[in-house]
Structure 1
Amino acid sequence: MSNTTDDRLAPILNELKLDLISKNHIVENASKRKEIARTFISDTITVPTADMYAYATLATLGDDVYYEPSTAALEAHIAKITGKEAGLFVSSGTLSNQLALRSHLLQPPYSVLLDNRAHINKYEAGGAAFHSGAQTIAIEPANQHHLTLEEIKNNIIISSDVHFAPTEVVALENTLNGTIMPQDEILRISEYVHSVGIKFHLDGARIWHVAVETGTPLKELCEPFDSVSVCFSKGLGAPVGSCLVGTKDLITKARRFRKLFGGGMRQTGVLAACAAYSLSHNLPQLVRVHALTKRLEAGLEEIGVKILSRAETCMVFYDPSSVGVTYDEIAQRGSAHPEPLILGGSRLVVHIQTSEEAVEDFLSIVRQLAQEKKDAGFVPTDDAAAGAFKDVYVRRAAKIPK
């Protein structure tokens, strides 16, 4: 190349250069990890550790649209431990759920029956309608905890009447808002759903929590379902990824739809390695997570705060109006703390990087506010305890990530 060509090319190359690594990145990342340890809005905010990064660099470098060895090994492992024939690694739980629905469903009109609080129903941007042309039938559980077989039977559409969209998929979520669906109820629903020729899908983003809390093998938890979605980036702390499992035919179809949806990825080995690391090293930490969540719940009850949804796994929902305190007051006091707390309304989520100090500081803030209200003359009453937040799954401004 001549000097003239070099001279003309140099400005272009210089313009395109980018160095996004801060000179202070070690300090900044340490600060971010400290912030995450004091954040209660979701378990999606966890970050990779140095050991996870180091493990990821050892992964293979294939192209997953063609074949990527580390990713294929992860898919095979998840299929094995869930008792399914095949698996498909994808970028998110939303994509995994939507691929499952699109692969199960053939020709509209049809409907998907689910819990009205389900992620598929509320937090996937209407994906069932957009991607699959499916109507959703959303049921509010009478027990405010989980759907029952009777509710499924009362709302399912099995009819040749042209006015209705027949139900072709029933989808459950376990855990849902941190609560565990009873396995015996799942088995009852599964037997009925399959007896009438309908597919059964599980959004098992946090199914790891169920396995750890109940001591039930993952295969047993997943056996009743035709397809299952599991997530690595919520409770397990990997940076990216979910996996859809099911029959070989279903996963073959889902792989094609993944490409069609724009979800085919290239060098995913590093992401698969992070997921593998999380299974081996982070999953055991859920025992501590559940214990810390129960400590949080017990502390709130000691103060007199009303519990809206109990700490079955990693979440607890609460209403501080029973002690005269508002969510905004708690959030403001938390943000003003010398080591700030990040809070988001009625839902408190504990994750593998939550610190015990953060839990104690949160309880101290609520305790102090409750005492201040009491000193100012607030007297708890049944009406106050019944309070403004009867919907046990309120999220502040409805903007908190799943």
Structure 2
Amino acid sequence: MTGDLGKAWDRVTDPAKLDIIATTQAKDNERCRLEVSRSFISDTLTVPSKEMCDYAVQASLGDDVYHEPNTAALEAHMARLFGKEAALFVPSGTMSNQLAMRTHLKQPPYSVLCDHRAHVYACEAGGVAFHSGAQVIPVIPSNRHHLTLDDIQKFIVLDEDIHFALTQVIELENTLHGSIFPQDEIIRISEFARKRGIKMHLDGARIWHVAVETGTPLDVLCEPFDSISACFSKGLGAPVGSCLMGSKEFIARARWFRKTFGGGMRQTGFFAASVAYALTHNFPKLAAVHQLTRRLERGLLELGVEITGSVETCMVFYNPSPIGTNYTEIAERAEQLPSPLLLGGSRLVVHIQTSEQAIDDFLNVLRSLAEEKKAAGFVRPAGKVDDGSYKDIYVRRK
């Protein structure tokens, strides 16, 4: 473009030009991958490998609000894999859960019953109330592990007393903070719910871990549920996305609500291809993740640290007070290492990019602190120490 008009256009377009790729970007990305390999904060921090990126850039081009070939293929595959009629790709697990609630709940007043630690209740910014206008009935499991049918029967609202909101959805989570929900209890709850016309939704953000640990196919695990949310960035290491599965009618209505929520996306082929890579190459790695987590747990026990949440999959909860230290002191010491460790309190999460060296370095930090405290005169307290972790560790966890 030449002349005055070209100059005018340049004045408009030139300020918008941007190059965000650093000259050191490749090295920066490798440094990021190293940092992730030494983080115990969450498996959401995993990053795409170079191989995943190379695969994903070959993805199809298309607008997912209209039709995106690779995304449509992913949705069809997920429906088959989970034994449901249809599936819907969404940006996040939170949106997937919220879409499920909004789609199941038709006419208020109504309530949703769930574990008091459930992500849908504790970590989704009050979304069930905001989006669906539903009351949530949070229940504390009597066994301090998972809800039972007896727990649910004590709190569920079934009659039409006008003082109460009828329970229309029972929401369960598997895993819940790394613990596996026994399948026989899920079946008992589901049979009870179906007899009363109550919908069952599974927050299966980490259902991949359950399948690997128990050797149970995903469709078998999810048969008792009317809808399932499965996350691709937790556990599997994909960059973005979750899938919601259910009947054709349910997913068609959820797709409508996805648009209402602002979740209709455009060029999603890159994300779908990343998920396909993760399903093929990362899903099988979870068995090794569980083994590494148990190795971490054994190391903690050998040091005299109290385990407040035993390893079932990829998480261990611990209390360091029996060796005379605390989470803040541990985190500060870990940050001072030549290659720092990133910690998040009482919960340690192991993921597909966690390095064995990170496990060793973390245990060495605790070993050094324990030796220092002992040399300074610290005496281990008698009996079991209750740090209240059952109440506290679930707050603001992702």
TM-score, normalization by structure 1: 0.97
Equivalent AA in structure 1 for residue 239 of structure 2: P
Which segments of 5 or more consecutive residues in structure 1 lack a partner in the other structure? Answer: none
- Rounded Cα–Cα distance in structure 2 between residues aligned with 1:186 and 1:293: 26
Mapping 1:378-397, distance limit 5 Å: 378-382=378-382, 385-391=384-390, 393-394=392-393
Which segments of 5 or more consecutive residues in structure 2 lack a partner in the other structure? Answer: none
| Regions of 4+ moved over 4 Å | none
Equivalent AA in structure 1 for residue 97 of structure 2: N
- Rounded Cα–Cα distance in structure 2 between residues aligned with 1:250 and 1:6: 52
- Rounded Cα–Cα distance in structure 2 between residues aligned with 1:24 and 1:67: 37
- Rounded Cα–Cα distance in structure 1 between residues aligned with 2:323 and 2:386: 10
Superposed CA deviations along residues 281-335 of structure 1, whole A, max 9, x for unmatched, are 0011101100000000000000010000011000000000011110011001000
- Cα offset for 1:393? 5.0
- Rounded Cα–Cα distance in structure 1 between residues aligned with 2:16 and 2:227: 45
Equivalent AA in structure 2 for residue 195 of structure 1: K
Superposed CA deviations along residues 105-124 of structure 1, whole A, max 9, x for unmatched, are 00110000000000001000
Mapping 1:2-401, distance limit 5 Å: 2-382=2-382, 385-391=384-390, 393-394=392-393
- Cα offset for 1:47? 0.4
TM-score, normalization by structure 2: 0.98
- Rounded Cα–Cα distance in structure 2 between residues aligned with 1:362 and 1:28: 24
Local SS of the residue matching 2:112: strand
Give me the identity figure in percent.
60
- Rounded Cα–Cα distance in structure 2 between residues aligned with 1:375 and 1:139: 45
- Rounded Cα–Cα distance in structure 1 between residues aligned with 2:386 and 2:160: 46
- Rounded Cα–Cα distance in structure 2 between residues aligned with 1:156 and 1:39: 40
Equivalent AA in structure 2 for residue 186 of structure 1: I
- Rounded Cα–Cα distance in structure 1 between residues aligned with 2:291 and 2:389: 26
Equivalent AA in structure 1 for residue 60 of structure 2: T
Equivalent AA in structure 2 for residue 111 of structure 1: S
Which segment is superposed worse, 346-355 or 12-21?
12-21
- Rounded Cα–Cα distance in structure 2 between residues aligned with 1:3 and 1:63: 37
- Cα offset for 1:59? 1.2
Local SS of the residue matching 1:114: strand
Give aligned pairs, total.
Answer: 398
Conserved 8 A contact 1:308-1:392:
no
Superposed CA deviations along residues 52-73 of structure 1, whole A, max 9, x for unmatched, are 1111111111110011110011
Coordinate RMSD, CA, aligned: 1.1
- Rounded Cα–Cα distance in structure 2 between residues aligned with 1:352 and 1:390: 26
- Rounded Cα–Cα distance in structure 2 between residues aligned with 1:295 and 1:126: 37
Superposed CA deviations along residues 89-118 of structure 1, whole A, max 9, x for unmatched, are 000000000000100000110000000000
Equivalent AA in structure 2 for residue 391 of structure 1: Y
Local SS of the residue matching 2:137: strand
- Cα offset for 1:196? 1.0
Superposed CA deviations along residues 2-31 of structure 1, whole A, max 9, x for unmatched, are 412122222222111010001110111111
Local SS of the residue matching 2:113: strand
- Cα offset for 1:77? 0.5
Local SS of the residue matching 2:138: strand
- Cα offset for 1:388? 2.8
- Cα offset for 1:392? 5.9
Local SS of the residue matching 2:143: coil
